[in-house]
Amino acid sequence: MAEVSSRALQMVDLVGQYRAIRAEILAAIEEVLESGQFIRGPIVAAFEQELAAYLGCRFALGVGNGTDALQLAFMTLGLRPGDEVIVPAFTFVATAEAAALLGIRPVFADIDPRTFNLDPASVEARLSPRTRAIVPVHLFGQAAELTPLLALAERHHLYVIEDNAQAIGATYRGQKTGTFGHIGCLSFFPSKNLGAYGDGGAVLTNDPALHERLSMLANHGARRKYYHELIGINSRLDALQAAILRIKLRHLEAYTQARQEAADRYDALLADCPGLTLPYRAPERTHVFHQYTIRVHPEVPGGRDGLQRYLKQQGIPTAVYYPVPLHQLPAFADFGPHDRLPEAEKAAREVLALPMHTELTSEQQRYITDAIRTYVETALRTGRPPTS
Ligand SMILES: Cc1ncc(COP(=O)(O)O)c(C=O)c1O
């Protein structure tokens, strides 16, 4: 039985998820093909409205991907070369890359070791007269500590851009993430909680003026075709992706629940396993478990990398999000020198994301957690990583 489970194991099962909604998806695709309207148009507009309604914000604008969403946010708020934005050092590269591409300096702050999200004290310590914005990332599906970050931003007249790529549907004090800041950014990369069948993203705002400027900048700086007022970019959600996302949005609450139930099962199965720290669920937040990320303590012989290798031999895929904190990446060297950030550096050495998706079964999870337990318990008892 374990053999069967291990063979079927994947970090994300996009095909399994598709098969369950195949008829709906194919009908939606057919509708787009028959409409002949592939860029923007009524299907994209309908998705934008449904997305905004789901999140509880005034405006959602579909764009090409989550990285463009961030770039458009910086452009829309008028950030310029030499300005500084404070971003967590422990996130996907795009959070800082989108700023750096515009000549904006990403200033890296450390994280709260429990949530992996921005530590407000570390942000405050990095404010300078050039700071223009704070970019909280709701990493792995759980909201950052928004109240102190928003207060800090207000006190220092800074913009807040939420990188909500990993946390669609998560809440903080009952409100959906992505709707707190001046602009929120979403990614519909296929493996995201709301994933397209290609690239896609969205920007969110409650401000009509920002929405108008975002719309222009995403469409060559024009309000009206061929009458360009600004230098913009070409970043639009296409109608096929919007049609697919409309279907999947209707299932999103069920998908989120499936992830949360899978996370609860991992918690229970690993509860008394030594040498690990399981995901922390911060108060007043709902975690949507884009990833289920554990920490492997350095005392475990072989450490995180040893466990990952062992699991791979058992047919269990895992992933390290992220092995190098951004302040240590060569790509950002020109924006340095960067401070050492001990918690981000420690997290990069210890984290391991387990398979997490809407189709994960308890049988598969038992197989995964039995293997983790065997490794950790054997390694701690014998002082050596076990060989398979
Ligand atoms: C935290 C974070 N920010 C930004 C992005 C960029 O999104 P995209 O891949 O759609 O450009 C991603 C995902 O890829 C992400 O995880």
Model pLDDT for residues 265-318, shown as the tens digit of each residue: 999 999 999 999 999 999 999 999 999 999 999 999 999 999 999 999 999 999
Q: Would the pLDDT of 6 be above 70?
A: no
In this structure, are residues 373 and 321 in contact, taking their beta carbons and an 8 Å threshold?
no
User: Tell me: the pLDDT tens digits for 162-189?
Assistant: 999 999 999 999 999 999 999 999 999 9
147 alpha carbon – ligand 1 mean position (Å): 24
pLDDT at 5: 44
C-beta 356 within 6 A of ligand 1: no
Q: For residue 313, with 0-12 CB atoms within 10 Å meaning exposed, 13-18 middle and 19 or more buried, which class applies?
A: exposed
Looking at CATH, the fold of the domain delimited by 2-11+252-382 is given as Aspartate Aminotransferase, domain 1 (3.90.1150)
In this structure, are residues 201 and 188 in contact, taking their beta carbons and an 8 Å threshold?
yes
Residue range 325-349: mean pLDDT, rounded: 97
pLDDT at 327: 98
Domain with CATH 3.90.1150.10 in the chain: 2-11+252-382
User: Tell me: the pLDDT tens digits for 343-380?
Assistant: 999 999 999 999 999 999 999 999 999 999 999 999 99
200 alpha carbon – ligand 1 mean position (Å): 10
Residue corresponding to tokens 């996907």: 92
Sign of the Cα pseudo-torsion (237, 238, 241, 247, in order): positive
Task: Count Cβ atoms below 10 Å from residue 81 Cβ, excluding itself.
Answer: 8
The C-alpha atoms of residue 325 and residue 303 are separated, in whole angstroms, by 18
301 alpha carbon – ligand 1 mean position (Å): 33
Q: Whose CA is nearest to atom 7 of ligand 1?
A: 66
pLDDT at 89: 98
C-beta 92 within 6 A of ligand 1: yes
C-beta 91 within 6 A of ligand 1: yes
C-beta 201 within 6 A of ligand 1: yes
Per-residue burial over 340-364, b = 16 or more CB atoms within 10 Å of its CB, e = otherwise = ebebbbbbbebbbbbbbbbbbeeeb
User: Tell me: the pLDDT tens digits for 34-80?
Assistant: 999 999 999 999 999 999 999 999 999 999 999 999 999 999 999 99
Nearest atom in ligand 1 to the alpha carbon of residue 192 is: 13
pLDDT at 276: 98
166 alpha carbon – ligand 1 mean position (Å): 8
Nearest atom in ligand 1 to the alpha carbon of residue 67 is: 11
pLDDT at 387: 81
The mean predicted confidence, pLDDT, of the chain is 96
Q: Which CATH code fits 14-247?
A: 3.40.640.10
Beta partners for residue 299, in sequence order? none
When pLDDT is cut at 50, 70 and 90, the band that residue 27 belongs to is very high
pLDDT at 147: 98
Q: Would the pLDDT of 134 be above 90?
A: yes
Q: Would the pLDDT of 138 be above 70?
A: yes
